[in-house]
C-alpha cells in the first residue's frame, strides 16, 4: 500500500475558536508558571500482564493497547514527569572541539514568561511538496531573504532560527525542575515531535514574513529515486538557499547515500538506489514498535546519553544521521554545517531534510502503527517564538496530527515498500566457520569483529512476534563529539566486507553526528536493532545462537560493553 491514509488522531488537542488568521493571540491564555503537566499514570490494564508496581513498565506497556482504550488518572505514586524546557536557565552551549564559540539562547527570554500555545483553527491545509518539484520557490526565496535581513537579535531572524537547534542540542537549555540537567531533543522519543514543532514555527514565520499564511515548505524526497540528488533549489550559488559548507563531491547529479560510510557505496561516488530503498524499508516499514522507531523514553531529570536505557530510534540513526553526515563539509573540523548538530540548522537544506523526516513519521503512522500513550511522552514540552513574537510552550500531544497544525504532505508513491532486503546466501551456502564468543567489553576500532550471541528463546509464535520485537541490544560507549558509524551483520562469519544494506544479513547501523553536552567526552547509550523478520528470512529462527559481525565504517573507537537479545527492549527501559 503506497498511499498515505488520514492519520488517526490519538490525543485531545486544544483548538481555539479563533479565526484562521495569523493572529490567534486573543485565544491565548497564560500558562501556569511551570509548563509541566501534573503527574499522571494510566489505569488501563497492562497487555503483557506484567506486575503493575513499576510505573514506567506499566506506562510503556500501554503501547500495546489501542490508544483510544487508554484512560488516564492521577497517580500519587507517580515518579517521573515529562521533560519541559527551562528558558530562563538558558546558558552558553557546550561545543565540540574546533567549533567557533557561539551564543544559542533566544533574545529577550529574561523578560518573557512563555504562554501556552493555542493552535489556530486552520480551515485549509498547507501542502508540503517535494523539493525537486516545488512550485513555491519564489515565495520561499523571498521569505528567506527577508529572514536573513532581520537583525540577529530578532527572534524571526535567520540567525535566531538556526540557533534554536543549537540551544536544544548542545546543553544551552536545561529542564524545568531539574536545575542544571541538560534538555536534549535527540537520542530519545522526543526527537520526532520536537522537530515537528520546530519546522511548524519556521514555516509559519516564513509565511508571516511574506504575508502568505498558505506558504508550505518543500521536503527533500530522498526516499524516492527522483529525489535522491541534493535538491537543485539549494545548490544555486545566487540563491539565499545556498550554503557553501557542504560536501562539494555531493552536488547534483550525485545521489544521496542513505548508508553513507564516509565514502560512497555505489558507483561513481553516488549512493546506490537499491541500497537506499532497502534501507528505507528496513528503517521505516519494518520497525513496527513505536519505541523502536521514535527512540526510547526520556523523562524529566534524565540525563541524555549518560546511561544505558536511553537511545535513538531507527529513523534518527538512519537515514536522519547519515543524511546529515553525507551533506556536511568533510573538510570542516566537525563536518559543519549539516554534519554537526550545533551548526546544522545554519544550512537551509536542514529544514528540507527534516521535512522528509517529519513526513516519514506521518507515513509510518499511515501503516496503522500505534502511538506512544505514556503521559511523559505526550506532555513533553518545548518553548518557541511563534510567528506573532509570542514566546509559547507547546507539547508533544498537540503535534500528533499534522492536519491540526494546518499542514499535510503531498501523497506520493513509496517505492521502497517493494524493496524488502533479501538474503545474500541461503543457510546451506554459509561456510559455517566456528566463531568464538568475545569477552565483553571490547573495543571496536578499525577491525571487523564477529561474536556469538545466545538467543533466550527460539521459534516464538506469530502472536509473540507481533507483540514483541526480538531485538539485538548493544550497550556502547563513545565520544559524542566525534563522528562514528558501524554496521551490524547477522550470520556472516566470512567475506562480510560487502556490508550492503540491500542484503538481509545487514541488520542496521549505529551512527553518531558530532554534538556536545553536559558531560564531556565518553557517553553511554543503547543501540537496538530489530531482528525478528531478519531471522525468519535467514532461516535462522530455530537456531539457539546467532553470529553478530560488527563492521566499523568511520570515526572514533567505540567500546561495546554489552550485547544481548531482548524481547522487551523497544518497549521497556
Ligand atoms: Cu535536530 Cu537533524 O537534527
Which residues share a beta bridge with 547?
452
Closest atom of ligand 1 relative to the 353 alpha carbon? 2
The DSSP 8-state label assigned to residue 183 in this structure reads P
> Does 571 contact ligand 1 (Cβ within 6 A)?
no
Rg (CA), the chain: 23
Ligand 1 centroid distance, CA of 440 (Å): 32
* Rounded distance between C-alpha atoms, residue 278 and residue 419, angstroms: 5
Considering only CA atoms, which residue is closest to atom 3 of ligand 1?
341
Which of 500, 562, 569, 496 has its CA nearest to residue 531? Answer: 569
Atom of ligand 1 nearest to the CA of 185: 1
Cα 167 to ligand 1 centroid, rounded to whole Å: 12
Residues 285-288: contacts with CB within 8 Å, 24+ apart? 285/367, 285/416, 285/417, 286/420, 286/530, 286/533, 287/313, 287/314, 287/315, 287/364, 287/469, 287/530, 288/369, 288/469, 288/530
Q: Is the CB of 354 under 6 A from ligand 1?
A: yes
Distance CA 194, CA 207 (A): 20
CA of 526 to the centre of ligand 1 (A): 19
Measured CA to CA, the distance from residue 524 to residue 478 in angstroms comes to 7
Cα(168) to centroid(ligand 1), Å:
10
Which ligand 1 atom sits closest to the C-alpha of 165?
Answer: 1
Q: Which residues are 479's β-sheet partners?
A: 522
Taking the centre of ligand 1 as the mean of its atom positions, its distance from the CA of residue 509, in whole angstroms, is 18
Neighbouring residues of 507: CB distance < 8 A, sequence distance ≥ 6 = 472, 488, 489, 490, 529, 531, 534
User: What is the end-to-end Cα distance of the chain in Å, rounded?
Assistant: 33
Q: Ligand 1: distance of its center to the CA of 5 in Å?
A: 26
> 320: Cβ below 6 Å to ligand 1?
yes
Cα–Cα dist 187/211, whole Å? 36
What atom of ligand 1 comes closest to residue 168's alpha carbon? 1
CATH 2.60.120 residue ranges of the chain are: 430-566
Q: Which atom of ligand 1 is nearest to the CA of 357?
A: 2
* Range list for CATH 1.10.1280.10 in the chain: 6-286+315-355+369-417
Pick out the residues of the known binding site for Cu cation: 165, 186, 195, 320, 324, 354
Decide if 246 contacts 328 (C-beta within 8 A): yes
Domain 430-566 CATH class label: mainly beta
Spatial separation of the C-alpha atoms in residues 44 and 59, rounded to whole Å: 9
The total of other beta-carbon atoms located within 10 Å of residue 306's CB is 17
Cis bond leading into 253, ω under 30°? yes
d(CA 170, ligand 1 centre) in Å? 12
- DSSP structural state of residue 264: -
For residue 238, the Cα-to-chain-centroid distance in whole angstroms is: 31
Residue-level pLDDT at 322: 96
DSSP letters spanning 321-341: IHHHHHHS-TTSTT-TTTTBT
Closest atom of ligand 1 to CA, residue 321: 2
**Index of the ligand 1 atom closest to the CA of residue 191:** 1
User: Which one-letter DSSP state was computed for residue 229?
Assistant: B
Q: Is 165 in the pocket of ligand 1 (CB under 6 A)?
A: yes
Whether a cis peptide bond, with omega within 30° of 0, leads into 337 is yes
Assess whether the C-beta atom of 170 lies below 6 angstroms from ligand 1.
Answer: no
- Phi and psi torsions of 35, nearest 5°: -75, 0
Given a contact cutoff of 8 angstroms between Cβ atoms, the answer to whether 382 and 168 are in contact is yes
Q: How far apart are CA 64 and CA 47, in angstroms?
A: 6
CATH of domain 6-286+315-355+369-417: 1.10.1280.10
Is 324's C-beta closer than 6 angstroms to any atom of ligand 1?
Answer: yes
Do the strands 407-409 and 126-130 form a parallel or antiparallel pair, or are they unpaired?
A: parallel
Helix count and strand count (H, E) for the chain: 12, 19
The helix (H) or strand (E) run that includes residue 527 is strand 522-530
Buried b (16+ CB within 10 A) or exposed e, 552-563: bbbbeebbbeeb
pLDDT tens column, 33-68: 333 333 323 223 333 333 333 333 333 323 323 233
The CA distance from 562 to 476, in Å, is: 7
Ligand 1 centroid–CA 541 distance in Å is: 36
* pLDDT per residue rounded down to tens, the chain (573 residues): 333 333 222 222 222 333 333 323 333 333 333 333 333 232 233 333 333 333 333 333 233 232 332 333 333 334 579 999 998 888 888 888 888 988 889 887 767 789 999 999 999 999 999 999 999 999 999 999 999 999 999 999 999 999 999 999 888 899 999 988 999 999 999 999 999 999 999 999 999 999 999 999 999 999 999 999 999 999 999 999 999 999 999 999 999 999 999 876 665 677 899 999 999 999 999 998 888 999 989 999 988 776 666 789 999 999 999 999 999 999 999 999 999 999 999 999 999 999 999 999 999 999 999 889 999 999 999 999 999 999 999 999 999 999 999 999 999 999 999 999 999 988 888 866 789 999 999 999 989 999 999 999 999 998 888 888 999 999 999 998 889 999 999 998 665 566 788 999 999 999 999 888 777 667 888 899 999 999 999 999 999 999 999 999 998 899 999 999 998 655 433
Distance 434 CA to ligand 1 centre (A): 42
Amino acid at each position: 500500500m503506497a498511499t498515505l491514509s488520514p492519520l488517526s488522531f490519538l490525543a485531545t488537542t486544544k483548538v481555539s475558536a479563533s479565526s484562521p488568521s495569523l493572529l490567534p493571540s486573543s485565544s491565548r491564555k497564560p500558562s501556569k508558571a511551570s509548563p509541566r503537566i501534573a503527574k499522571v499514570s494510566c489505569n488501563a490494564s497492562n497487555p503483557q500482564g506484567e506486575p503493575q508496581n513499576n510505573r514506567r513498565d506499566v506506562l510503556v506497556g500501554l503501547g500495546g493497547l489501542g490508544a483510544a482504550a487508554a484512560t488516564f488518572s492521577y497517580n500519587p505514586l507517580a515518579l517521573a514527569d515529562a521533560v519541559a524546557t527551562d528558558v530562563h536557565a538558558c546558558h552558553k552551549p557546550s561545543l565540540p572541539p574546533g567549533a567557533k564559540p557561539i551564543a544559542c539562547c533566544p533574545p529577550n527570554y529574561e523578560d518573557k514568561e512563555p504562554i501556552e500555545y493555542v493552535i489556530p483553527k486552520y480551515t485549509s491545509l498547507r501542502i508540503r511538496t517535494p523539493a525537486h518539484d516545488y512550485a513555491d520557490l519564489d515565495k520561499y526565496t523571498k521569505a528567506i531573504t527577508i529572514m536573513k535581513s532581520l537583525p540577529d537579535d530578532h527572534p524571526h531572524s535567520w540567525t535566531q532560527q538556526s540557533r534554536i537547534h543549537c540551544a536544544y542540542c548542545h546543553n544551552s537549555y536545561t529542564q524545568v525542575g531539574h536545575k542544571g540537567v541538560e534538555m536534549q531533543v535527540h537520542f530519545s522519543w522526543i526527537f520526532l515531535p520536537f522537530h515537528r514543532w520546530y519546522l511548524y514555527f519556521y514555516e509559519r514565520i516564513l509565511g508571516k514574513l511574506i504575508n502568505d499564511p498558505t506558504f508550505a515548505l518543500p521536503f527533500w524526497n530522498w526516499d524516492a529515486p527522483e529525489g535522491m540528488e541534493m535538491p537543485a533549489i539549494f545548490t544555486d550559488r545566487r540563491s539565499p538557499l545556498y550554503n557553501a559548507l557542504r560536501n562539494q563531491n555531493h552536488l547534483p547529479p550525485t545521489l544521496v547515500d542513505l548508508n553513507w560510510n564516509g565514502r560512497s557505496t555505489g558507483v561513481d561516488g553516488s549512493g546506490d538506489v537499491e541500497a537506499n530503498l532497502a534501507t528505507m524499508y528496513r528503517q521505516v516499514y519494518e520497525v513496527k514498535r513505536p519505541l523502536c522507531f521514535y527512540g526510547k523514553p526520556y523523562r524529566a531529570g534524565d540525563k541524555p546519553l549518560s546511561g544505558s536505557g536511553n537511545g535513538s530510534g531507527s529513523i534518527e540513526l538512519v537515514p536522519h544521521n547519515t543524511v546529515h553526515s553525507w551533506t556536511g563539509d568533510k573538510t570542516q573540523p566537525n563536518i559543519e554545517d549539516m554534519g554537526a548538530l550545533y551548526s546544522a540548522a545554519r544550512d537551509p537544506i536542514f529544514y528540507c531534510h527534516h521535512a522528509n523526516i517529519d513526513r516519514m513519521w506521518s507515513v509510518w503512522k499511515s501503516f496503522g502503527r500505534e502511538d506512544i500513550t505514556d503521559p511523559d511522552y505526550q506532555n513533553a514540552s518545548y518553548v518557541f517564538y511563534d510567528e506573532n513574537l509570542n514566546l509559547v510552550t507547546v507539547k508533544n500531544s498537540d503535534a500528533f496530527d499534522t492536519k491540526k497544525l494546518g499542514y499535510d504532505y503531498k501523497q506520493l508513491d513509496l517505492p521502497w515498500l517493494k524493496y524488502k532486503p533479501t538474503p545474500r546466501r541461503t543457510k546451506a551456502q554459509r561456510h559455517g566457520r566456528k566463531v568464538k564468543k568475545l569477552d565483553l567489553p571490547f573495543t571496536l576500532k578499525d577491525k571487523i569483529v564477529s561474536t556469538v550471541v545466545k538467543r533466550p528463546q527460539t521459534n516464538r509464535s506469530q502472536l509473540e512476534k507481533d507483540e514483541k520485537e526480538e531485538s539485538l541490544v548493544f550497550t556502547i560507549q563513545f565520544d559524542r563529539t566525534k563522528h562514528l558509524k558501524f554496521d551490524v551483520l547477522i550470520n556472516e562469519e566470512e567475506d562480510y566486507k560487502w556490508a550492503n544494506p540491500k542484503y538481509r544479513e545487514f541488520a542496521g547501523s549505529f551512527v553518531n553526528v558530532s554534538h556536545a553536552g553536559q558531560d564531556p567526552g565518553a557517553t553511554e547509550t543503547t543501540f537496538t536493532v530489530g531482528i525478528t523478520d531478519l531471522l525468519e528470512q535467514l532461516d535462522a529462527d530455530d537456531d539457539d545462537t546467532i553470529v553478530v559481525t560488527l563492521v566499523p565504517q568511520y570515526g572514533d573507537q567505540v567500546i561495546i560493553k554489552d550485547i544481548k537479545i531482548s524481547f522487551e527492549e523497544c518497549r521497556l527501559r
